[in-house]
Amino acid sequence: MAPILCRKTRVAYYPAPKNASTTLRGLFFRLDNGRDFVPFLLNGVHTDLFVLYRNNQPFERATAPAGYEKVAVVRDPIGRFMANYRWLISAEHTDIGEKPEINDFVSRFESLGTRTPKAMFHLMPQAYFLGGDLTYYDKIFKVEALGQMFSYLSNRAGSELPMTWDNRTKVAADELSAQSIAKLRDVYRADYKLLSQIYAE
């Protein structure tokens, strides 16, 4: 996919679902336009940040404009799964026909995770969106320490940017059984390989 460009900070940002991408889209819009984004209708079509900046797409290499740095945000794979479960199932952002408990969901991941396009899309590995080699990027930030990215963006923007992400989709890690954790490590094997220098299994 072509990255999201922010002129104010001179970054080319590659998003992945549940890695603070909504927050960062909103921030980049505000920086480049001097106002908060408000969804609007265009020819009868509801236009939100994901229409304006495109939804997340499979990774493709792209040439960033001169002076821009390529950046991405990564997340612990199991923590990201738990955030997705909370958002998709607990908060009912998709309807898979039932509301399974989290360990039940993991045990039937292959069938439940493909019942809707939204579920299938959000549960894809980060490697699908960010590629298989993090050396492609100039900067990588952890979602668990997103303040570091805000500091970086503040320096590039020339002004202090307030931290706006509150990680509202937190789920307690102890909700997952040892069996579920083992299975998720296998499901997200590509991510653990990609992020091996950042997150231990």
Measured distance CA(83)–CA(49) in Å, rounded: 20
- pLDDT at residue 158, as a whole number: 95
pLDDT digits (tens, 9 = 90+) for 13-39: 999 999 999 999 999 999 999 999 998
* pLDDT of 168 over the 70 cut: no
Please state the rounded mean pLDDT for residues 62-87: 96
Please state the rounded mean pLDDT for residues 172-184: 87
- pLDDT at residue 69, as a whole number: 98
Closest CA to 93 of 56, 52, 123, 51: 123
**Residue 56 binned pLDDT confidence (cut-offs 50, 70, 90):** confident
| Length of the chain (residues) | 201
Helix (H) and strand (E) counts for the chain? Answer: 10, 6
Measured distance CA(182)–CA(23) in Å, rounded: 31
Quote the mean pLDDT of the chain: 92
Please state the rounded mean pLDDT for residues 83-102: 93
**Residue 2 binned pLDDT confidence (cut-offs 50, 70, 90):** confident
- pLDDT at residue 173, as a whole number: 59
* pLDDT of 115 over the 80 cut: yes
Tokens matching residue 116: 């809707």
* pLDDT of 149 over the 80 cut: yes
DSSP state string for 101-160: -HHHHHHTHHHHTTSSHHHHHHTS-HHHHH-S-GGG-SEEEEGGGTHHHHHHHHHHHTS-
- pLDDT at residue 146, as a whole number: 94
